[in-house]
A and B are shown apart, each in its own frame.
Chain A
């Protein structure tokens, strides 16, 4: 069936089977492979994208459920080709990654979390990212990056 969405501000319309997962729709129909499939069981959060501004796990949603919605993926965060989103910039500066596989999902989860809680404590950041696993266990710098981004984005303690 036809599934029409706005992905990173661009209208997308693709004829897909109802069982097509949102992450397949994004990667295979839209050609946006920044969103990763990690565990494929809604545990790891690597597939996290924003649907109408809120973080969701795109491996545990059918594309048809997002029909008519606005999706933001990691490709759509940066304001320009020469500038990063503050959360991306903070991950870069605080080295909030090791292998990088969880990073798109971590960044998207962090963006949604900071929207809901612009001024978090370290503990709140850790709880807010509980749905995202880093197999390198690089959590310390990820948390530091999110706290740094909160400060830069106007929240921050």
Chain B
């Protein structure tokens, strides 16, 4: 399958990328690792006329200790998260979820910022960043702004990013408590049919993958646990507030069942 023709622009700096976006407007798309965008282009579900390649902005590839949080450059690859000693220590849940993305080949190319900006509710990392209360640093023509993860994911493949903005950094509060990620799929490297992440960091946070048009926090489960409910009783509430999609893999009802089962397993494994 061959994508529709496009003009290719390789950005050598964040400023150059922003200038290209300003010039080409809605017709342009940023290309990072391309692990989500290229398949969409091959299926011609996406037909950008200009691709602005930001993958070589190596100054946006880093994992840094920033005191109370870990600062991660938007172009940091999943592989670099998976092998980061700092992340293993300061935020093991994010390291662990990154290691579950796709397969080795995908993790060699795909980037954290790309996954976030794509905003796919079936992706692992957006849900993880929601559970971890991450903040996103965004640069646009008017300068820099920050957006909390809970306000970032707005709909299916829709985020708070404007077409002329570039995600530059992901800030993840340190979280060293127990965690567990349950990813249910049929083929090893596939997207999750449903995923459930539990992170214990003072309170217990629960995030769901592929249970609505955006990644979701399972607030009912979190509130029940905070109120002293048992794991079994809390997990029974996992489908509340969800809007599970129907597709080849599963009906909404089956997804709701999976959410309850996977949240219970994740809570038990995380020692919630």
> A131 and B39 in contact (CB under 8 A), knowing A43-B187, A64-B53?
no
Question: Is A109 an interface position by the 8 A CB rule?
Answer: yes
Q: B55 to A45, Cβ gap below 8 A?
A: no
Instruction: Name the CB-closest residue of B to A17.
Output: B5
Bound-complex Cα distance A64 to B7 (A): 11
Q: Which of B6, B8, B55, B106 meets A131, CB within 8 Å?
A: B106
Q: Which 5 A-B pairs have the closest CB atoms?
A: A131-B103, A18-B8, A130-B188, A54-B108, A57-B105
1/0 per residue A61-85: CB within 8 Å of B? 1101100000000000000000000
Question: Is B134 an interface position by the 8 A CB rule?
Answer: no
Q: Which residues of A contact B106 (CB under 8 A)?
A: 42, 57, 131
Bound-complex Cα distance A109 to B104 (A): 8
B residues adjacent to A (C-beta < 8 A) = 1-8, 10, 31, 34-35, 38-39, 41-42, 51, 53, 55, 79, 102-106, 108-109, 187-190
Bound-complex Cα distance A72 to B130 (A): 38
Q: A109 to B39, Cβ gap below 8 A?
A: no
Q: A45 to B105, Cβ gap below 8 A?
A: yes
Bound-complex Cα distance A60 to B187 (A): 18
Query: 8 more A-B contacts (CB under 8 A) besides A40-B42, A128-B104?
Result: A18-B6, A19-B5, A40-B1, A43-B187, A54-B108, A65-B53, A112-B108, A130-B103
Q: Which residues of B contact A1 (CB under 8 A)?
A: 8
Bound-complex Cα distance A40 to B55 (A): 22
14 contacts between A and B (CB under 8 A): A19-B41, A42-B35, A42-B105, A43-B190, A56-B105, A56-B108, A56-B109, A62-B34, A127-B188, A130-B188, A131-B104, A131-B105, A131-B188, A132-B103
Q: B34 to A65, Cβ gap below 8 A?
A: yes
Bound-complex Cα distance A56 to B104 (A): 8
Q: B34 to A131, Cβ gap below 8 A?
A: no
Q: B8 to A60, Cβ gap below 8 A?
A: no
Q: Which of B6, B53, B109 meets A19, CB within 8 Å?
A: B6
Q: B38 to A109, Cβ gap below 8 A?
A: no
Q: A112 to B34, Cβ gap below 8 A?
A: no
Question: Is A55 an interface position by the 8 A CB rule?
Answer: yes
Question: Is A137 an interface position by the 8 A CB rule?
Answer: no
> A131 and B109 in contact (CB under 8 A), knowing A19-B3, A60-B34?
no
Bound-complex Cα distance A126 to B84 (A): 22
Instruction: Name the CB-closest residue of A to B102.
Output: A131
Bound-complex Cα distance A54 to B260 (A): 38
Instruction: Name the CB-closest residue of A to B41.
Output: A19
Q: A55 to B53, Cβ gap below 8 A?
A: no
In angstroms, how far is the closest chain B Cβ from the Cβ of A57?
5
Q: Which residues of A contact B6 (CB under 8 A)?
A: 18-19
Instruction: Name the CB-closest residue of B to A48.
Output: B105
Q: Which residues of B contact A40 (CB under 8 A)?
A: 1, 42
